[in-house]
Amino acid sequence: MDDLGAVIDAPEIDAGIEEVDEGIAQVEEGTEPVEPVDPAAKDASDPYTTKFSREMRAALKSWEASNPEAARFAKQARDNHARLFALTQLEPKGIDGVRERYALLEGLQHGEAKGPEALAAMQDEYQSYKESDEYLASGDPRALEALDDSFNGGLAKLAPAYLDRVSRTDPAAFEAAVLPHFTKILASSDLVKEYNALIDVLNSQGDPRFDDKTKMSFAIQQLSKMGQWLNGISDKAVHIKSAPRVDDQRTQFEQERTEFEKQKQEAHWERSIYPEAGKLVETKFNELLAPYQKRLQLTQKQKDAAFSDFKTKNAALCSADKDYDNQIKRYRSQKNPDSRSVLNSVKVQLNKTARDSFEQVKSERWEAFLAGKPQPKPNVQAANGKPQPPVAANVEIRTVKPPMNEIDHRNTPVEWMSQKKYRLFSGKVVQVRTA
């Protein structure tokens, strides 16, 4: 967003100034609750202290009364001040703080929703999660209603780990959960079948087929079958316990998908965010350099070196800002963050850090030069009446002034005029001296 005013548009002055004036008066008089501000943190010249604000409004009203033709300007000034005063009560950092919060809000993304819609969707989803958590904590079966059939496979894989946990934390609950299922499995098992057959034979009376020797042989045979069943079920339990719960092929697929998503996200940043962010940084640097470039006369190579230094220092300041660093991390955690929101955050951060970064570059590179005042060098004649030698080795002495279309007036310093020295479009510097 290029201009915050496009979002928070002020109403017509005549329609709202009285209400705004009344509101600011309430704040000044202490009849309207506002966020407390430490008086020690306020500078005496701060235009948004209560004392300064009251004096300013009184001065504007006096100006309005004594200059009826300027009444609309006084009203506009009062309205602007009242609104900014109220803004600083809500956000001590003023418009920069509003920009930060707006960039943070615009950076929210949840599915297809962005900004305030994303926040509302997150709140709704959080509420559903909160209800599910409460159901789980109270043991309410309704917790499972939030899980559709797509969760069945995952729940089945979690069952062994869940039962292990219950067996450690609540043995009675573990027995109550497992015993009915164990009894059902046992009732239809070969163990019970072989056991019942053995009891039937041992209890037989008067049957010539089952003498004592036959019964003994049959009992040994049945006990062997029962032992085989128990050993088999024990081996199966050990195998289930040691078997991986997630299959290797699925694990590999998930790893490949994660890597692909990471590459896809990086491509999104490389294509849609990094280049535009770089342009914002370069534009800001050029904007800060412009007032000094005429005097510095930096070559492109010097300018590039200074810009590289500026980027390094600005990146360090951005990294030190925990709020901005965390915001960028949130963007990086999203699959395809909205580039406009990311760039808006970058723009807001540049407004905070760029000037300090530039001042560091200026201090380290050009402070000594900029602190000195260039002195004009008049065309002084020697005692013998002959012209002095060139003021510099690269100055060409001529007796006739170069044609006007050859002189680069824009890049010829003003103080050179008294020396009859000119910079040419060819790059040469000439000085005119008559014999």
Helix (H) or strand (E) holding 355: helix 339-365
Q: Are residues 180 and 267 in the same domain?
A: no
Asked which of 92, 109, 126 is the last residue of a domain, the reply is 92
Q: Are residues 265 and 357 in the same domain?
A: yes
The pLDDT value given to residue 358: 92
Q: Are residues 195 and 218 in the same domain?
A: yes
Q: Is residue 272 part of a domain?
A: yes
CA angle, 52 then 58 then 59, to 5°: 90
Distances in Å between the Cα of 432 and the Cα atoms of 108, 388, 394, 424 are: 66, 12, 14, 13
Q: Are residues 349 and 292 in the same domain?
A: yes
| Token pair recorded at residue 17 | 């100034």
Average pLDDT by stretches of 10, the chain with 435 residues? 31 41 48 44 64 82 83 84 80 75 73 76 75 79 77 80 85 85 84 84 79 85 87 80 57 70 78 88 92 88 91 90 86 80 86 91 85 52 46 70 82 78 83 75
Paired sense of beta strands 421-423 and 395-398, if any: unpaired
**Other Cβ atoms within 10 Å of 145 Cβ, number:** 10
- DSSP single-letter state for residue 391: S
For residue 342, the one-letter residue type is V
Paired with 431 in beta bridges are 397, 421
Q: 434, 399 in Cβ contact below 8 A?
A: yes
Angle between helices 71-90 and 13-29 (to 10 degrees): 50
What is the tally of structural domains in the chain? 5
- Rama region for 33: left / alpha / beta (φ>0; ψ in -120 to 50; rest): beta
Q: Are residues 38 and 72 in the same domain?
A: yes
- Give the burial class of 269: count Cβ atoms within 10 A of its Cβ; 0-12 exposed, 13-18 middle, 19 or more buried: middle
Q: Is residue 170 part of a domain?
A: yes
The pLDDT value given to residue 243: 52
Q: Are residues 234 and 305 in the same domain?
A: no
**pTM for the complete prediction?**
0.41
| Cα separation, 247 vs 238, whole angstroms | 18
Q: Is residue 128 part of a domain?
A: no
Q: How many residues does the chain have?
A: 435
Q: What is the CA radius of gyration of the chain?
A: 42
Q: Are residues 201 and 158 in the same domain?
A: no
For residue 57, give its domain range: 4-92
Block residue for tokens 């849609």? 272
Q: Is residue 113 part of a domain?
A: no
Q: Are residues 378 and 307 in the same domain?
A: no
Q: How many CA atoms lie within 13 A of 258 on its CB side?
A: 7
Q: Is residue 125 part of a domain?
A: no
DSSP, collapsed to helix, strand or coil, labels residue 37 as coil
DSSP, collapsed to helix, strand or coil, labels residue 244 as coil
Q: Is residue 111 part of a domain?
A: no
Sign of CA dihedral 392, 393, 399, 404: negative
Q: 271, 263 in Cβ contact below 8 A?
A: no
All residues at 6 or more sequence positions from 110 whose CB lies less than 8 Å from its CB, including other chains? 118, 119, 121, 122, 125
Q: 344, 276 in Cβ contact below 8 A?
A: no
| Cα separation, 144 vs 131, whole angstroms | 11
Q: Are residues 161 and 238 in the same domain?
A: no
Distances in Å between the Cα of 404 and the Cα atoms of 324, 401, 425 are: 54, 9, 11
- Rama region for 385: left / alpha / beta (φ>0; ψ in -120 to 50; rest): left
The per-residue b/e assignment along 246-256, b for 16 or more CB within 10 angstroms, e otherwise, is: eeeeeeeeeee
Distance from chain centroid for Cα 16: 37
Q: How many CA atoms lie within 13 A of 404 on its CB side?
A: 0
Q: Are residues 319 and 307 in the same domain?
A: yes
Asked which of 332, 354, 371 is the last residue of a domain, the reply is 371
The pLDDT value given to residue 304: 92
Q: Are residues 175 and 204 in the same domain?
A: no
**Other Cβ atoms within 10 Å of 78 Cβ, number:** 22
- List strand residue ranges (DSSP E) for 160-275, in order: none
Q: Is residue 407 part of a domain?
A: yes
Q: Is residue 291 part of a domain?
A: yes
All residues at 6 or more sequence positions from 209 whose CB lies less than 8 Å from its CB, including other chains? none
Q: Are residues 71 and 161 in the same domain?
A: no
Asked which of 371, 389, 411 is the last residue of a domain, the reply is 371
Paired with 78 in beta bridges are none
| Cα separation, 225 vs 220, whole angstroms | 9
| Cα separation, 412 vs 294, whole angstroms | 10
